[in-house]
Chains A and B, each alone.
Chain A
């Protein structure tokens, strides 16, 4: 088995999810090549060389690839992967956008968002938003797999693999970038944070989210929200944790004023330790919480911020 792992990066920094995808791929084979595609991404290639479990790095650096659009990358992956048996990507928004385009070019299926590797052809993946898990076996000769990064530990970075720079023909881009509207935050990224503090409808307003922020800042935590809080306009869309938002699995998840709809639980129930703070003792969130505190969040949060 020969694995090609698609590195996720922003042309400057290798994304931590890639280390987790390498872990998943390594469970199938030790023959792993990491592919870095982008523009002026030499630093990323250097970081990629240090990733444990990688035999070498292929780097394709071209101005046309600056925005890493799937339309440009998919044909490149197909052209460099002769002889590979499996192609791996993170099931981030980039990976989700790209991987099926690669699979279709190969004429094979894709196994999406795996949380466990059983053997080289068999994987476990959530269906129905994590309300069930399917064990799926593929008979395709090229396996295309996306990995739910939060389900795997990262590999460490003590390696010194070689970089091979490749020149490929790049078709002219089909898509043009108009603008990027990045959520600017001093806090860690939601899907990668060790601690997440999330607020729900119970928080009541956009202004009241300041209480959540205070506690999050003391803990160095990312901020999350339930769908109800997002729909009510308290916070931006991309902070939503749940079935239709981000799936997180931090060491500590603190749910504040969140009732615990199935929709939300699907996005956070793999967290190591769950704390629920809610004034309604009957809230379903308490059924999954390791530690529950029944109380008014407007009293509890300031106390928490003070005692941390």
Chain B
């Protein structure tokens, strides 16, 4: 079985993002970039399935400018077998990403796609579901446990109010939640090895997908700053303020 794992290049989540002075976007110049954390979890899960002998090949794919090859190399160092770079402009919309992935799934005859549930930049949380819809495959979003046996996948999903365990037949799409696994660190020998693994660059046209945009970002603004309040000295002063000043308790 082949597993396809799409990954996205994003600003390092531990860096505080700054909005550009002209409010056109957030600042990405000279900012550390990384593989989206949820995508990294997806790569780890796919590699584990290969290590368990359930998958034969893990293919990672990223769509964007040539810089996203860095993140593809990282994924190869984590254990993916080969990479596909869809060379296109950055910031393509989720539906277009889903169309590119659909074409690749069909080309590669992948049986399982594991995606991150969302990217930590645009926070859209759309690609897995859109891809599953386009392929007419079942989807298990927000996965915190995945088991595969005899063409059947059982997934524990993190949903509001608890956990939901579902079963579906392959082929299928899974999106990862934070607690699915803890990704390994790439070892130096594996980083070296990754440099020799195959990385193909293709175009959206070769997949028969037109890159179109239906959404325009008019403006990006920083959040309203919450001003710090006052310090109280005691529990009774705190309760007095909450009852008589803020009036949020009785």
Contact = CB atoms under 8 A, between A and B. Distances in A.
Q: Do A and B come from one complex?
A: yes
Interface of A: 69-71, 74, 92-94, 96-105, 107-113, 122, 125-140, 174-183, 189, 191, 195, 219, 237-238, 243-244, 251-252, 262, 269, 272-275, 281, 286-294, 300, 303-304, 307-308
A286 B160 contact: no
Report whether over half of chain B's contact residues are helix, strand or loop; otherwise say mixed: mixed
30 contacts: A71-B132, A93-B157, A93-B160, A101-B129, A103-B126, A110-B94, A113-B123, A126-B223, A127-B123, A128-B11, A131-B222, A136-B218, A139-B214, A175-B168, A189-B160, A195-B248, A237-B144, A243-B120, A273-B246, A274-B229, A275-B242, A286-B228, A286-B231, A287-B228, A288-B228, A290-B230, A293-B238, A304-B235, A307-B235, A307-B239
A134 B219 contact: yes
B235 A303 contact: yes
Most chain B CB within a 10 A radius of its CB, from A93, A102, A129, A137: A93
B16 interface: yes
B84 to A, nearest CB: 21
A128 B120 contact: yes
Nearest to A140: B214
A252 B219 CA distance: 31
Interface in B122-145: 122-134, 137-142, 144
B167 A135 contact: no
A55 B158 CA distance: 34
A271 to B, nearest CB: 9
B21 interface: no
B93 interface: yes
Contacts of B77: none
Given A100-B130, A175-B138, A176-B166, A127 B94 contact: no
B179 A237 contact: yes
Given A71-B132, A132-B223, A178-B166, 4 more contacts: A104-B133, A112-B125, A281-B231, A293-B233
A195 B249 CA distance: 9
Tier of interface size on chain B: 35 or more
Most chain A CB within a 10 A radius of its CB, from B11, B123, B219: B123
A26 to B, nearest CB: 23
A240 to B, nearest CB: 9
Given A176-B167, A181-B162, A291-B238, A127 B230 contact: no
Nearest to A308: B239
B215 interface: yes
Contact of B178 (A174, A179, A244, A286): A244
B206 interface: no
Interface in B24-77: 26
A176 B167 CA distance: 5
A281 B126 CA distance: 41
Interface string B152-166: 001001111111111
Contacts of A131: 16-17, 222-223
B121 A127 contact: yes
Contact of B160 (A94, A104, A107, A129): A94
Interface in B164-195: 164-169, 178-179
A127 B179 CA distance: 22
Contacts of B231: 281, 286, 291-294
A98 B137 CA distance: 14
Contact of A191 (B16, B160, B219, B246): B160
A113 B161 CA distance: 19
Given A71-B139, A136-B215, A289 B162 contact: no
Contacts of A219: 249
B16 A262 contact: yes
A136 B144 CA distance: 31
Given A128-B120, A177-B164, A300-B235, A96 B138 contact: no
A177 B19 CA distance: 44
Nearest to A110: B126
A101 B132 contact: yes
Contacts of A303: 235
